[in-house]
Amino acid sequence: MTGLILNGAIKRYGEVQVIHGIDLTIDHGEFCVFVGPSGCGKSTLLRMIAGLEETSDGTIHIGARDVTQLDPAERGVSMVFQTYALYPHMTVAENMGFGLKMNGVPRAEIKQKVSEAARILKLDEYLSRKPKALSGGQRQRVAIGRAIVRGPEVFLFDEPLSNLDAELRVEMRVEIARLHQEIGATMIYVTHDQVEAMTLADKIVVLRAGRIEQVGAPLDLYRDPDNKFVAGFIGSPSMNFLDGQIEGEGKVAVPALSRSISVPASLCSGTGAVTVGLRPEHLELDQSGSDAVVELTEALGGVSYAHLVCAGGEKMIVEERGDHRTRVGDRVAVRFDPARAMLFDAKTEARLR
């Protein structure tokens, strides 16, 4: 069994601490995705697991082994980078087998491993080509093949698709999902891309400023975020947030929409400030109202996004069907089922449950 356990993992660069004691368990065979805003420490954490960055404190176990002090080559991991870093003068087969050759693996065994990886990645017919004669997606496949031939217990991916164009990204995302199904190894994947995170992950780890905000299955994080940060980070376009005032048990005034909403009595009582979270896909527009003015529309075909400005200047995004009739300048009412609203403590940002 080759899951991972991080225990109090800390990273310091001199005086500056960037990873603040991460406790995390990743199960054997799990596809785990690290997400979070730029600079939150996703790559650093991945590189600590790879052994490319020293862990300043805490431990990292891969399977039963404490690998915290081990060199990258001794950890049983293979990393795939954003830049494929292929050798231009070598063929696909030579690129894929190079690491094994350096380790003195017999030629016949290299050949067998390379052809098995080429089969999995559908690279069979390209084995004698040089990288310059390959598309971006094919090059990234070679880079993944180079990781596969080493037979690692854990695959680490650092934004592997971010250099590819939109169409290839989709293709490669499906390939990576298929690869995970076929070889069943533990995979840890860093990305900025919501769709990659939501579709590939068994488990998403949301990071913020070197700390874990929440860990969970993609849809659990979407449906049941612990706090405003996770609610705003998971889901695209982001959740709308409006100021609210508790007006006694189960009642919240939402000044931006000039109305009060009823929520389960257990969520709030007394008085106090809250943040009301509304997902764009849970809102509807009604042309006969004056909650807000449409300042921009984005038509994507199947769906459209209407960007609104409320009377007090608050901004909102509403998802509509592609065949909507909303136009810039329309005065609209925003309708929603209050049961869909999420409430967050205005100060601590914790979800009120």
Ligand X SMILES: Nc1ncnc2c1ncn2[C@@H]1O[C@H](COP(=O)(O)OP(=O)(O)OP(=O)(O)O)[C@@H](O)[C@H]1O
CA 91/CA 208 separation, integer angstroms: 41
Residue with tokens 């971010």: 162
Tell me: does residue 13 bind ligand X (CB under 6 A). Answer: yes
Q: What is the DSSP letter of 137?
A: H
Identified binder of ligand X from the candidate list 2, 44, 68, 138, rule CB under 6 A: 44
Please tell me whether residue 39 binds ligand X under the rule CB under 6 A: yes
**How many CB atoms sit inside 10 A of residue 72's CB?**
15
Tell me the closest approach of the beta carbon of residue 9 to ligand X, in angstroms: 13
Stretches 11-19, 89-97, 253-261, 277-285: which one binds ligand X (CB under 6 A)?
11-19
Should residue 38 be labelled a site residue for ligand X when binding is judged by CB under 6 A? Answer: yes
| Binding of ligand X by 42 (CB under 6 A) | yes
Per-residue x/- marks for ligand X, 189-208, CB under 6 A? ---x----------------
Which residue, 203 or 282, is less far from ligand X as judged by CB?
203
Does residue 40 touch ligand X according to CB under 6 A?
Answer: yes
Q: Give the DSSP H/E element, type plus range, for residue 328.
A: none
Q: Cα separation of 333 and 330, whole Å? A: 10
Site for ligand X in 163-192 (CB under 6 A): 192
Q: Choose between 36 and 216: whose C-beta lies nearer to ligand X.
A: 36
Strand pairing report for 292-299 and 203-208: unpaired
What is the C-alpha separation between 90 and 98, in angstroms, rounded? 9
Q: What is the DSSP letter of 162?
A: T
Nearer to ligand X, 96 or 197 (CB): 197
Among residues 3, 36, 51, 244, which is the contact residue for ligand X, using CB under 6 A? Answer: 36
- The nearer residue to ligand X, 20 or 129, going by C-beta atoms, is 20
Closest alpha carbon to 1 in 46, 75, 62: 62
Backbone angles phi, psi at 48, to 5 degrees: -65, -40
Number of residues located near ligand X, criterion CB under 6 A:
12
- Candidates 3, 41, 160, 225; binder of ligand X (CB under 6 A) is 41
Residue 68 has which token pair? 């915290």
Would you say 126 or 189 has its CB closer to ligand X? Answer: 189
As a whole number of angstroms, the distance between CA 159 and CA 143 comes to 13
CB of 48 to ligand X, least distance (A): 9
Q: Give the number of residues written for the chain.
A: 353
Q: Under DSSP, is residue 4 helix (H, G, I), strand (E, B) or coil?
A: strand
> For binding to ligand X (CB under 6 A), which residues are involved?
13, 16, 18, 36, 38-44, 192
